[in-house]
């Protein structure tokens, strides 16, 4: 059965807002956890951040069909950045552990350096989680919670909400695909390791963000109820999920590389060098696959 734009948008807004609200307790628990302690909600911060991004993308991409209160998108951006600092700290520690596990016969000097690096990342992780804990108790979070409650109760829809979802929402998804195409050129032009410098991290990151937004927009369109439209949107979702994952591997490697470079000192230099070599190789392989996907 075909749905209206209001049906599709209202359902997406409610689901994502409710997910964020329900996630507050798990995020609070995760933020308070001591390093190395058992984690009952290991993906709490990640899940909350994804829900915020999906909600923000829905409000931004489908701006003809939604009319959020002034300040709502800004409140979501504040929260996703706060969560992002904590999540990035988690990812850096995991990334370092994966690189350490992939090193072949590391020397005692490298092993000692890895321990020092991990200690620095543990401290950064604790600081980021403390910021999340403080943010949850802040007036800004109370304001965010009130805004989310309002979104759940009455999604902010425009007069176009009564039109068919398949025809009303598709142009916005096409627009996002055009954004992906505009950012894909430098990545598509790169022919892989040994063919020259790979595109700069900021170029790769912009493509990743565009792919993510296109995917989230297509997820909403895929609930239109029109069979042909839903199939087309599902294909967009699948292709951009794969691209997002590949570019995410590259982005995480680039962020970790920059972090380790900043932590370079005599005690850690050998470990940083070893991790950079392995990390760069893995990032290059993922980027080569992403380049092939956007050609």
Tell me the per-residue pLDDT of 155-170, one tens digit each, with 9 for 90 and over.
999 998 899 999 999 9
Instruction: Look at residue 39 and tell me whether its pLDDT is greater than 80.
Output: no
Note if the pTM is more than 0.85.
yes
Residue 72 pLDDT: 98
Residue 75: exposed, middle, or buried by beta-carbon count in 10 A (0-12, 13-18, 19+)? buried
Residue 38 pLDDT: 61
Using the Cα atoms of residue 33, residue 40, residue 42 and residue 50 in order, give the sign of their dihedral: negative
Instruction: Look at residue 36 and tell me whether its pLDDT is greater than 80.
Output: no
- Interval 215-228: pLDDT, tens: 999 999 999 999 99
Residue 63 pLDDT: 93
Instruction: Look at residue 190 and tell me whether its pLDDT is greater than 70.
Output: yes
Residue 195 pLDDT: 86
Residue 268: exposed, middle, or buried by beta-carbon count in 10 A (0-12, 13-18, 19+)? buried
DSSP 68: P
**Residue with more model confidence, 240 or 38:** 240
Q: How far apart are CA 31 and CA 83, in angstroms?
A: 10
Assign 35 a pLDDT band (cuts: 50, 70, 90).
Answer: low
């Amino acid at each position: 059965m075909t749905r209206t734009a209001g049906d599709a948008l209202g359902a997406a807004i409610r689901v994502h807002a409710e997910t964020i609200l329900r996630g507050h307790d798990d995020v609070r628990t995760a933020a308070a956890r001591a390093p190395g302690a058992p984690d009952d909600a290991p993906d709490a911060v990640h899940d909350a951040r994804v829900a915020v991004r999906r909600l923000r993308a829905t409000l931004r991409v489908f701006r003809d069909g939604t009319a959020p209160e002034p300040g709502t998108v800004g409140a979501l951006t504040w929260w996703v950045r706060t969560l992002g600092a904590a999540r990035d700290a988690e990812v850096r520690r995991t990334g370092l552990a994966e690189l350490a596990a992939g090193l072949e016969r590391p020397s005692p000097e490298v092993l000692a350096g890895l321990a020092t690096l991990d200690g620095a990342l543990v401290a950064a992780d604790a600081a980021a989680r403390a910021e999340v804990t403080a943010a949850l108790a802040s007036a800004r979070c109370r304001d965010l919670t009130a805004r989310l409650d309002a979104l759940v109760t009455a999604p902010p829809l425009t007069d176009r909400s009564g039109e068919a979802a398949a025809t009303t929402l598709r142009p916005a998804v096409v627009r996002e695909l055009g954004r992906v195409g505009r950012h894909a050129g430098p990545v598509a032009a790169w022919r892989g390791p040994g063919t020259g410098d790979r595109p700069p991290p900021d170029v790769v990151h912009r493509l990743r963000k565009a792919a993510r937004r296109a995917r989230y927009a297509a997820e909403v369109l895929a609930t239109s109820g029109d069979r042909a439209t839903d199939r087309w949107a599902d294909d967009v979702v699948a292709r951009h999920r794969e691209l997002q994952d590949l570019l995410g591997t590259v982005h995480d490697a680039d962020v970790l590389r920059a972090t380790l470079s900043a932590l370079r000192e005599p005690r850690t230099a050998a470990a940083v060098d070893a991790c950079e070599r392995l990390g760069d190789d893995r990032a290059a392989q993922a980027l080569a696959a992403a380049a092939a996907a956007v050609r």
